[in-house]
A and B are shown apart, each in its own frame.
Chain A
Amino acid sequence: MLKRVISMMLVVLLFTSLAGCSDNDEQVNTKDNQQSEKKDGDSAVAEKEEEPIVIEWMGYNANAQPKQDAPTILRLEEKLNVDFDIWQMPQENFDEAFSIRLAAGDMPDVFKVNIKDIPNYQKQGILGELPLETIFDTCPTLTATYNEYSPDGAVWQAAKYKGVNYGMPMMSLNGTYGQVVVWRKDWLDNIGYDKVPETLEEFEDALYKFRHNDPDQNGEKDTYGMSDYAQCMIYGAFGIGNMSKPKYAGTGIMLNEEELPVFSITQPGMREALATMADWYEKEIIDPEFVTSEDTSGYWAVSEAFQNSRIGLTSRSFFYHWWDDPENDDEDAENVVTFGVNNPDGEYVFGTPPVGPEGLSGTSTSGYLNNALLFTTKCTEDPRKVEKILQMWEQSFVGNDEDPEMFELIHHGIEGLTFEYDENGKAQTLLDGFAPTEEGIVFELTDPKYELDLYADKYAFGDLVSPKNPYNKVLVSPTEEYSQYKSDLRRMGEEAVIAIITGEQPIEYYDEFIPIFLENGGQEVQDAIQREWMANQN
C-alpha cells in the first residue's frame, strides 16, 4: 500500500513537471519548416542577419488574441528577418495585467497606450527615447502624411513627455468627427416641425411637445424628449465642451480663458446648463431614467430608449454607428437595423447641436490624438529593432511604393486568405469581427490618407451628418493626484449633477458644491495638472 501511494505521487509529480515545460521548441520547428518550404519571393529583405531579432509586440488593441503562427505574421517575420513575440493581453484588465508583468521585470519592445498614460510609464523608467529626427529620417512618407493631416504639428507633441519623444503617435480619423445628433423625424412631423430644431429655444419647444403632444400618436403619454446621451449638447450650448454623461461630470477638463486646463464642472456656463436642465426636468422633458442611462444593455452606442420610442433625441454615438449601406443591408450598423425592425413606420434624421443664448454650440469629439505606440528601453537599446519597425511602418504608408507586399501585409494580411480586392481595386476583408486581429493584422499604424480612401463612402457620410465641434478635447497628462482622487471626484460630480437636474437640490446648491469639490481633491488635482501642462508647453 505504502509503495503504491508513493509511486503514484511520484508519477503525478513527474507529469506536472513535464507539463511545466512549454512547447516553445515545437513552435520554432514548425516555423522553420514553413520558412524552408516557402521560397524567398523577393529581395526586399535588405540583408540576411544570422539570427532573426526577437521583437516583443504589444502594439495593438487587445480586443482579440493574435495567433503566433498566423500566416501573415510568419510572412512578415520572414521578410523582416525578425521573430515577433506577440504579447497576449486582456482588454478589460489591461492595466492590471500589464503592470504586473512590468513589475516582474518583463517588458515588450513596443506597446500601445492612451497618450495620457505616458507619464506613468515614463516614471517607471521603461520608456526609451525615440528622437523625432529618427522618425523624420527613416519615414519620409509617413512624416509628410502626418504633417498634412496635422498642420499645426500637434501630432509630434503627442508621444512627448517633458520634451522627450518616446514613440510613434497614432492618428484617429474618427476622433475628428463630432457625436451625431439624432432626431425622430416622424415625431417632428407630428408636432409640426418641418426642419430640425437649431437653437436652444427650439430644442426646448420641440422636446416639450415630444413629451406632452403625443408625438407617436398612440394616445398615451409614454414619451419623453431626451435622456442622458443628449445632455452633452446642452452643456455645449453654454460653452462647456466634451462634457459627457453625468457619470463623468466630475472629471471633465477644458481650457479656461487663460488657456489653462481646469475642471469643466467649476466653469461659468456649467451653472446655467444645469439650471436649464433642471427646468427641463421639471417640465418632464428629460426622462427620469436618465440617471441609469438610456443605454440599458449591450453595445454602448445603441440607445435602447431611442430605439424603443421612449425618447425622440439622442446623441453620443458617432456617424459609423448609424452607417446605412446603400448597397448591402448586411453591412448596416446595429442602430440602423434595430430601428428599422422596431419602428417600421419611424424615421430618424440628423441634426446639429443647439445654439445657446450667447451663440455657443458644440458637442463632443474624442480628438484625433488619443493613442501612441511607445518604444521601451529594451527596444531603443538595439538600433536594428527601431530601424526595422520604422521601415515596416514607412512602407505601409500610401505613397511609398518600395514594397507593395509589405503594404498589404500590414493593413490586410495575405490576398486570397484574409482579404481580396473588389472591382474598384479596394481591399475587402474576408474576416468577420475581430478575426483580423487574430490573424495577425496587429502591426498597423493608422494611415489617415489610406483610411479615407478605403472607407471613402463611410467618411463622406460622416462629413455629411457629423456636426462640427469647436471644442477641442484637452489632452492633459494625468498625474498621480488624478489617479488618487479620480473616483472620488467622479462620484461627487455625478451626485451633484444628478441632484440638481432632478430638483432634489435647488440650483443654489451648485455654489455650495464647488468649494466642497475643490477642497476634496479638486483643487489639488487641478494644480498638479496645470503644473504638468506648463512643463509640457515648453
Chain B
Amino acid sequence: MLYKRSKDDLLVDLFCYLFLIILSITIIIPFMQVITISFSPTHVINSYGLKLFPTEITLEGYKKVFSDELIWSGYMNTIFVTVVGTILNVLFSVLGAYPLSKRYLPYRNMWTGLIVFTMYFSGGLIPSYMLVKNLGMLNSLTALILPGLISAYNMIIMRNYFMSLPESLEESARIDGAHDYTILFKIILPLSKPIIATVSLWYGVHHWNSWFHSMIYIQDRDKQVLQYVLRLILSEGQVDEVGETLAEAAAVNSETMKMAALVVATLPIICVYPFIQKYFVKGVMVGSLKG
C-alpha cells in the first residue's frame, strides 16, 4: 500500500524548503555583490544600491590582481602549507588518537587528561614566538606547519570515533596474525574515511584561512600566505591615515581590485568543497561489518 502524505507533512516540507531557500539567498547575495564589484568600474561601486549583476564590465581589477606577484607567491605558499600541513596533521592526529582509543593503554586517562589540559591552558603568544624563533623556524614555512601540528580537539574527536569501532575487528585481525600497524593502516583507517575526511577538511580550511602565524613568523614577502596578502590588500585605505604623503594617497587600490583579489582567493576552496561533502553524509560503518 502506498503511503499517502498528509497535509501536515506538506506544510512541514514547505516550511523547511522555504527556510532553506531564504538561508541560501542570505549566503549567495553578499557573494554575488563581491563578484559584481570585482567586475565594475569605480563610479559604479560608489553609487548606491545592491549590485547583484554587473551593469558595466571592466577587467581592470583582475588585470591588477593577476599582475601582482605577491598574490601568486601567496597562492603557492598557501597550497603548499595546506597540502603538506594537512597530510602531516592527519597522520599525526591518527597516530596520537589511535593508542588513546585503546583501553589497554597504560595510564590512558592520564594521557588524555594531559592533552585536554593543553586545550585550556597555553603559554601564550610571546613564549610561542620565542620557541619558534629559538628552534630556527622563523621566516620559513615550517613555522606555519609544525606549531599546532596536532589540534587536541580534533585528536579527541578522532579518538572517540576509533573507540566506537567494534573491538572484535582488532581481535579477529590479531588472530589472523596482523601487527598493530597492519591493523591500523589496513583495517581501521579504511573504516575511518568519514572521520578522516571531516578532520582533514577542518585542518585544510584552517590552513587555508590562517594568516596570523604568517604575519608574526614570516618576514620575507615571497613566503607569505595568500590570506595574509589578501588582508594587506583589503585593509588599504579603510582607515584615514595621519600624515599620508601625496604619493600614498594616490596609491590606494580600488575596491574593484580588492574584490577581485577576494574572488581569486576564495574560489578554489569553494570548488574543493563539493568533492569532500559526500564523506560527511556517509554513514560510519559503510563497507565493514554487516550485522
Contacts and interface: CB of A to CB of B under 8 A. Distances in A.
B247 interface: yes
Contacts of A100: 125-126, 129, 216
A337 interface: yes
Contacts of A61: 241, 244, 248
B136 interface: yes
B179 A1 contact: yes
B171 interface: no
Nearest to A5: B181
Number of contact residues on B: which range applies? 35 or more
B contact face: mostly helix, strand, loop, or mixed: loop
Contacts of B215: 90, 93, 97
Interface string A286-315: 000000000001111110100110100000
Contacts of A300: 237-240
A157 interface: no
A531 interface: no
A341 B182 CA distance: 70
A88 B139 CA distance: 11
B107 interface: no
A88 B42 contact: no
Interface stretch (A353-361, A430-438, A520-528): A430-438
Contacts of A297: 45-46, 255
B174 interface: no
B93 to A, nearest CB: 14
B243 A366 contact: yes
B46 A104 contact: no
A338 B42 contact: yes
Contact of B46 (A63, A298, A451): A298
A104 B243 contact: no
A175 B243 contact: yes
Contacts of B250: 320, 333
Interface extent on A, as a size class? 35 or more
B232 interface: yes
A90 B232 CA distance: 7
B243 A63 contact: no
Given A300-B240, A342-B47, A63 B220 contact: no
B28 interface: no
A176 B21 CA distance: 55
A91 B252 contact: no
In this complex, which of B138, B139, B232, B247 has the most chain A Cβ atoms within 10 angstroms of its Cβ? B247
A495 B139 CA distance: 44
B246 A174 contact: yes
A68 B220 contact: yes
10 tightest Cβ-Cβ pairs between the two chains A and B = A65-B221, A341-B43, A370-B243, A172-B243, A92-B235, A433-B251, A299-B237, A298-B255, A338-B43, A300-B240
Interface of B: 41-43, 45-48, 70, 88, 125-126, 129-130, 133, 135-142, 145-146, 179, 181-182, 185, 215-216, 218-221, 224, 228, 231-232, 235-255
11 contacts: A1-B181, A19-B141, A61-B244, A65-B232, A88-B221, A103-B129, A106-B133, A174-B246, A304-B47, A316-B240, A341-B41
